[in-house]
Every structure is written in C-alpha cells, then in structure tokens.
Amino acid sequence: MNIINDIKDAYNKANTVEKIIYVNVFLFLITVIFTKFSIQWFALPTSLNSFLYKPWTLISYAFIHERLFHILSNLLVLYYIGNLFLDFFTKKQFLNFYFLGAIIGAIAFLTYNYFALKNGAPLGGASAAVSTIFVAIATKIPRYAIQLRFIGSVELWVLAAIWVSMSILQLANPDNGGAIAHLSGALFGFIYANQLEKGNDIGKWFEGLLNYFSNFIKPKENSPLKTVHKSKGRTSKNDISIPKQRKIDLILDKISKSGYESLTQEEKDFLFRAGKK
C-alpha cells in the first residue's frame, strides 16, 4: 500500500506534462495486460462506421501504446519538450495543444482512410499530440539551443524538423494513416502557435469546455448562507453572507423608505456597532 500511496503522492505533486506521462504509462501497462480489449475499445478504428459506435476513441487512442519503443520515444520527447513548452505557454494552453492536436490527428486519420478506401490497423499512440507540442514550441522559439550529449548544441527548429521528417518518411508505407495523423498534428501546432503570436487563441473554446467539465464534476461547496461560524459575539447568517458595507447600505435604504422604527432590534444593534467603529 505504501507504493500506491507514493505513486498517488508523486502524481499529485507532478506538473501537467508529468501527469499526462503518468496516465500514458498506466494505460500502457493496462494495454500490455489486456491488449485485445484495449485495442478493440480504445484505439481509433480505421472505419468511420466503427468510429461512430466508439466516438470516445477520438481522444482515447492517444493514450494507447502497444510497443515499448513507441511509448518511450513519445514520452521522452514529451517530457523534455513539454516542460520547455510550459516555460513559454500556460498549462491550460498545453492541454489545448495536446488534446486538440490528438483530435485533429484523429480526424485526419479517419478522413484519409475514408477517401483512400483503406482498412488497415487501428490507430494508437500519442505521436500526433506530441508532434503538436513539439512543432508549437519550435515555432515559438525556433533558435532556442538544446545541448545534446555527444552531439552538442542543436537549435530547436532542427530537432522539430527531424521529428516531422520521420513521419514524412512513413508516408511511403502502405499503412500510412498514422503518418497522416502525426503530420496533421504538427501542422496544427504550427498554425495554433502562429495564431497565438497574433493574439488569436483558436483553442480558447476547448479550454472553456475543459473548465466546464472540470467544474461540473467538482463537489459543490456549501453555500455561505448555510455556514455558521462560532464567535464570541452573536453573529447571524446574514452577517457572514453579506459584506458589511452592503448590509449597512441595505439598512439605510430601509430607513429612507420606512423610517428608523421599521428596523429590527438586530439591525439597530448592527448599525450602532458599525457607527462606533
């Protein structure tokens, strides 16, 4: 149980990038154990008709990895590039880029296979989302130099170009739908980052959607009107829920309309105490 508690503690302390990595690793382990089930229900199907029965795969596919090298390459890049991304963008923008990149990649994959009449393997992996993050930060700071062991200093745009070129080379494969998804995510990252530079956040609507669902699932806090705090003096519920100046204004308004005698004893005492301070 200590190991589980340590994992929970590490997850709670992790930043946004690291939490995405933890989720990917956890679901990779689930996929290794229940491979057939995970691929069938969470990978993105090639057929549009099959997708309509499993619409959640538009996002879930980005967390499904079958091969160890696949998840290692994606998550290593995500860790270093993603944390660099957070130095120049907000964590909410990271989520916008990541999830919208995955969705754009999925749409491109489905569209390509539909018109090309292909029926290959289902799509799984975070490559489209990672490509979005990689190209976005390279667009933001292209001349930023990264020190690589045994190689030396390499500018970020060069690394992003190499990453994208790997997907371009995969277009020669018969089953090239995955490469289409990766390149679509990369293109979206470039467009989104450029639009942000112009002051146009094209992913703001998605941030609002995430906030809506986040607030929806959060437990509602008790209303201030139902909260009673203990104190040395007598305190009413209205004293807690209404700011002091606002309550004074309400009492004075009541006096102007109905006279001083219309006040309750509690209101008179409150006004007297406020006048002494």
Q: Among the residues of the chain, which ranges form H helices?
A: 2-13, 16-33, 35-42, 48-53, 57-60, 68-85, 91-116, 127-140, 156-169, 177-197, 204-217, 237-241, 244-258, 265-276
Rounded distance between C-alpha atoms, residue 20 and residue 53, angstroms = 26
Residue 239 pLDDT: 45
DSSP codes of every residue in 172-187: GSSS-HHHHHHHHHHH
* pLDDT tens-place string over residues 255-267: 766 666 677 877 7
**Average of per-residue pLDDT across 199-228:** 70
pTM (predicted TM-score): 0.75
From its phi and psi, is residue 125 left (phi > 0), alpha (psi between -120 and 50) or beta? left
CATH dotted code for 2-217: 1.20.1540.10
Q: What is the residue type of 144?
A: Y
How many CB atoms lie under 10 A from the CB of residue 1? 5
* pLDDT tens-place string over residues 101-114: 999 999 999 999 99
Nearest to 25 by CA among 75, 100, 83, 84: 75
The residues near 154 (Cβ < 8 Å, ≥ 6 apart) are: 145, 146, 148
Share of the chain above pLDDT 70, in %: 83
Largest Cα–Cα separation, the chain? 89
- Please tell me the least confidently modeled range out of 110-119, 121-130, 210-219: 210-219
What residue spans in the chain does CATH classification 1.20.1540.10 cover?
2-217
How far apart, in Å, are the Cα atoms of 244 and each of 224, 258, 261, 262, 273? Answer: 15, 21, 21, 20, 11
Dihedral sign of CA atoms 202, 207, 210, 211 in order: negative
**CB of 85 closer than 8 Å to CB of 136:** yes
Q: What is the mean pLDDT of the chain?
A: 85
